[in-house]
Structure 1
Amino acid sequence: MENLFAARSQMAVSLGFHIVFACIGMVMPFLMALSHFKWLKTGQEIYKDLTKAWSRGVAIFFATGAVSGTVLSFELGLLWPSFMEHAGPIIGMPFSLEGTAFFVEAIALGFFLYGWDRMNKWLHWAMGLLVGISGVASGILVVAANAWMNSPSGFDWVNGEALNIRPIEAMFNEAWFTQALHMTLAAFVATGFAVAGIHALLLLKQPNNTFHRKAVRLAMYFGAFAAILQPISGDLSAKDIADRQPEKLAALEALYKTSQPADLIIGGLPNDETEQVDYAIHIPGLLSFLAHGDFNAEVKGLDIVPKSERPPVLITHLAFQIMVGIGSFLFLVAILYLFFSWKKPHHIWKKWFLRITAISAPLGFIAVEAGWVVTEVGRQPWIIYKVMKTSEAVTPMPGIQYSLLFTTLIYLILTFLVFWLMKRQIKALNNSYQSANQ
């Protein structure tokens, strides 16, 4: 196994595992804070119980996310030493600020978990809210560093060296806002639907359980509104990529040749040899409109770059289709949920809609994983866009395949432990509220 493939695979495994916990760490504290707020305002004990139940989940995912995030930070230096040699001084600021946000998050979570009946009730609530705010800040800062890899700025590249470094400019690069917005909304969609889906599944077994009904409503507030906003952020991202990384957009849509106008392609299997997309649905002119706001605009295809600098089209295109397909489905579920909440609240508790909600539970995280494939694979062969290729950054140290196997094994064990712990929590939660059935 070549070092480049092994190193890429190890980063893919590590990032694919960590991103789930990053999303949950960003959003679950807000769910926890909302239920806590409702308890403080209404005095209903069911909201206090819900807050405590969710806080245990936050603690589990925070601990596991801390481990996986630490591994990722080491991997950047061990697997990609040339990248860190040049990029470290440039994007060190968002990483260091992310570390500060992480420490604030850890301290606030400690105060919240052990502050019950020991702190002023509103200060205690504020600690829970601070966990969520610092978690979102941490996620945005990491995404800003990743966005810099897609839109490098804040330095002058002279004879293979980064000179005249400007960290603030690098952190607030042209891509940071659209990527951070899209990722933050994706985290709220994925976590909101996942929590609502788990409680909806439990409601199918206990249809009148008040505890799970309250949980579904609170979680769907976040998931539904974020799902409705997500297409707007997706449109902003598409237009941004069309200007800055036209070959990435071409790979997303499997557009092999520059076209005016350009069709939007739905589904299909790209064929690099024939440079055609088999079994696809074409919507004339729609890609031109989505990319440039004009149905007759020119959209650059993969023919603008040499074949050696083209992203892997099949993987990027399929990942993009999965992300958009799931996003569209969750958007429709969100619209339906909000309509029912407004006009026909009893429909939310119908078995058919609870089944849809339960089915939606894993879909948001599948979309998140697909989105990161689009972001990372769509940038290849560059680790720093148009500055350094991934092959130039990989470590020359032999034996990376053994590191890949060891890391994969560790993550499989952690996945099993988290699954086991959460299953125990859900089972205990379900048993505790058998009496809530009416």
Structure 2
Amino acid sequence: MDNVTIARATMGTSLAFHIVFAVLGVGMPLLMSVAEGLGLWRRDETWLLLARRWAKAFGILFAVGAVSGTVLSFELGLLWPRFMAFSGALIGLPFTAEGFAFFIEAIFLGLYLYGWDRLPPLGHWLASIPIVLSGAASSLFVVMTNAWMNTPAGFRLGPDGQLRSVNPLGAALNPSTSTEDPHMLVSAYVVTGFLFAAVYAAGLLQGRTDLVHRRGLAAGMAMGLVAVGLAGVTGDASARFIYEAQPAKFAAMEGVYRNQNGAPITIGGIPSSSQHRVLYGLEIPGALSWLATFDVNAPVKGLDSFPPGERPNPVLVHFSFDSMVGLGTLLGFLALGFWGLMLWRRRIPLWRPLLWAVVLAGPASVVAMESGWFVTEFGRQPWIVYGILRTSEAATSAPGLGPFFLIFLVIYGGLALTTARLLLAAAAHNRKPASGAEASPQRRRVSS
């Protein structure tokens, strides 16, 4: 493999690994805060117990996420030196803001973890609010940088192609920010909700039908239901924006090769560049034009209208887009079905096929999120900064990237296994009968 391929593989692996911890860093604080708030409001030991257990797990995930996120910062400079030379002055503002948000989250997380039974109950719950807000803010600031790569703004180039003026705020608030940021934020809540629900559904399938597992399942599915609905709304807005701002990406997402009015949506299928069409797909006439512009006869640019060297890979982008939309739709139907049954029977449904579906929904939500990022990144190619700097021109020329990538994979594999073992050990400890160390503090907090 050449340096560009290895650099992309290394960066892609880092992002795919880190983003799971990043989205849990956004979603888990909200679940913790809501659970503790309900426990204090209702004087309910079960909700307080859930909040306490989730806080311990979050401490582990936060530490691993911090390490993997730091690695990404080094990789930007080491693997993409020309990108950083060009964009450093433009993307420094959101990265700096993300650093402040991270420090705020770390400070209050320390207070939250150490403050159980040391802070007053209300004060301890209030400490969770900055964690919720700073976790969400960190996500928004980081995604601003990716949004800028899709619609670069906030600068002026001279005749020689060098930067002549820089507006960091204009770069951060680039045109893509208003659609990409909200979609990523609600996607984080989608993944967190369904992963939590999957964990408790698995426990229920193993016969642990206690109130902790039933409420944990309900909390995850509640977050999943609200967030997946919002993800559909923000995703639709994002797709309409891409239709205007990145027509080549839009054509690859939908498998459109020829310019046409009244373009159909093609569900599934395999894009064939030799035949200039999608094979074996299901077409809905006029639907793509209508969804993009609310006009069934609106024009849609095809891939053939762009030079061959400026077209993204339609197979990767179309398959990733269909995976994201298809899995997101199934998750939405599952959440609606779960809550429909719950409202009808007036209790949490423990039907085994439904619980198995919830278990599968956890990893499916992660796949949907990763697929969305594949659409964003593969769809921008061959540009690292859309329309300005090509990916092939931005990668390092340093030798020895191959062995570095292999060592990198081994380290990340070990980190993933260690994280899994720690979480499983924490779960096993939670299944032990509560005594002294965990039970009595709960009663003290409820009665205070």
In the alignment, is residue 363 of structure 1 matched against residue 390 of structure 2? no
Q: In structure 2, do the counterparts of structure 1 residues 275 and 391 end up closer, same or farther at CA, with 3 Å as the change threshold? A: same
Alignment of 1:165-314 (within 5 A): 165-206=166-207, 208-314=209-315
Report 1:64-75 matches (<5 A).
Answer: 64-75=64-75
Q: In the alignment, is the contact (CA less than 8 A) between 1:347 and 1:353 conserved in 2? A: no
1:193-215 deviations in Å (ceiling 9; x for gaps): 11011101101122531110111
> CA contact under 8 A between 1:289 and 1:296: conserved in structure 2?
yes
Residue 235 (structure 1) shift: 0.8
Gaps of 5+ in 2: 440-448
Structure 1 gaps, min length 5: none
TM-score (norm 1): 0.97
* Cα distance, 1:117–1:253 mapped onto 2, change above 3 Å: same
Distance in 2 (alpha carbons) for counterparts of 1:338 and 1:232: 20
Residues 218-240 of structure 1 show CA distances to partners (whole Å, capped at 9, x for unaligned) of 12211111111211111101100
Q: Which amino acid aligns with 1:319?
A: S
Alignment of 1:119 onto 2:89: no
Do 1:80 and 1:393's aligned partners in 2 also have CA atoms closer than 8 Å?
yes
8 Å Cα contact 2:26/2:188 also seen in 1: yes
52-61 or 351-360: which moved more?
351-360
Tell me the CA shift for residue 45 of structure 1: 1.5
Residues 195 and 230 (structure 1), Cα distance of their counterparts in 2 relative to 1, 3 Å cut: same
Preserved CA contact (<8 Å) 1:228 1:335: no
Aligned to 1:34: 34
Q: Deviations over 1:58-94 (max 9, x none)?
A: 1111000000000001100111111101101011000
Give the counterpart letter for 1:73 in structure 2. Answer: S
Q: Which amino acid aligns with 1:231?
A: G
Q: Deviations over 1:393-425 (max 9, x none)?
A: 111111111221121111111111111111222
Quote the offset at 1:167 in angstroms.
0.8
**Which residue pairs with 1:137 in the alignment?**
137
- Output the amino acid matched with 2:17: F
Note the C-alpha offset of 1:270: 1.1
**2:109 partner amino acid:** L
Return the offset for 1:376.
0.5
Q: Provide the secondary structure at the position in 1 that maps to 2:283.
A: strand
Q: Paired residue for 1:401?
A: 402
Aligned counterparts of 2:316 and 2:149: Cα–Cα separation in 1? 20
Name the structure 2 match of 1:153.
153
CA distance in 1, matches of 2:240, 2:169: 24
The one-letter code sitting in structure 2 at the alignment partner of 1:308 is G
**CA deviation profile, 1:95-122 (whole Å, cap 9, x unmatched):** 0000000000100100000011221222
How many pairs does the alignment contain?
A: 435
1:34-113 equivalences in 2 (<5 Å) = 34-113=34-113
Whether the 8 Å CA contact 1:265–1:282 is kept in 2: the answer is yes
Higher mean alpha-carbon deviation, 371-380 vs 416-425, is at: 416-425
- For 1:306, give the aligned amino acid: P
Cα distance in 2 between the residues matched to 1:433 and 1:283: 57
**Is the CA contact (8 Å cut-off) linking 1:224 and 1:337 kept in structure 2?**
no
Q: Is the 8 A contact 2:214 2:348 kept in 1?
A: no
Where does residue 443 of structure 2 map in the other structure? Answer: none
Question: Does the aligned pair in 2 maintain the 1:154–1:165 contact within 8 Å?
Answer: yes
**AA matched with 1:87:** S
**Partner-residue secondary structure (3-state), 1:23:** helix
User: 1:31 and 1:15, CA in 2 relative to 1: closer, same or farther beyond 3 A?
Assistant: same
Query: 1:349 Cα deviation (Å)?
Result: 2.3
- The separation in 1 between residues aligned to 2:342 and 2:99, in whole angstroms, is 40
Question: Which residue does 2:446 correspond to in 1?
Answer: none
In structure 1, distance between residues paired with 2:341 and 2:226: 14
Shift of 1:291: 1.1
What RMSD, in angstroms, separates the aligned Cα atoms of the two structures? 1.5
What is the letter of the counterpart of residue 348 of structure 1? P
Structure-2-length-normalised TM-score:
0.95
Per the TM alignment, residue 288 of structure 1 is displaced from its structure 2 partner at its CA by 0.5
Which residue identity lines up with residue 369 of structure 1 in the other structure?
A: E
Q: CA offsets per residue over residues 29-71 of structure 1, 9 Å max, x none?
A: 1111111111111222112211111011111110000000000
Q: Shift in Å at residue 165 of structure 1?
A: 0.5
Residue matched to 2:329: 328
1:345 CA displacement: 2.8
- Distance in 2 separating the partners of 1:287 and 1:339: 31
**What is the letter of the counterpart of residue 380 of structure 2?**
R
Residues 218 and 348, structure 2, Cα contact 8 Å, conserved in 1? no
CA deviations on 1:357-413 (whole Å, 9 max, x unpaired) are 112111111111111111001000000000100111111111111221121111111
Q: Distance in 1 between matches of 2:219 and 2:72?
A: 32
Which stretch shifts more, 334-343 or 368-377?
Answer: 334-343
Return the letter of the residue paired with 2:53.
Answer: A
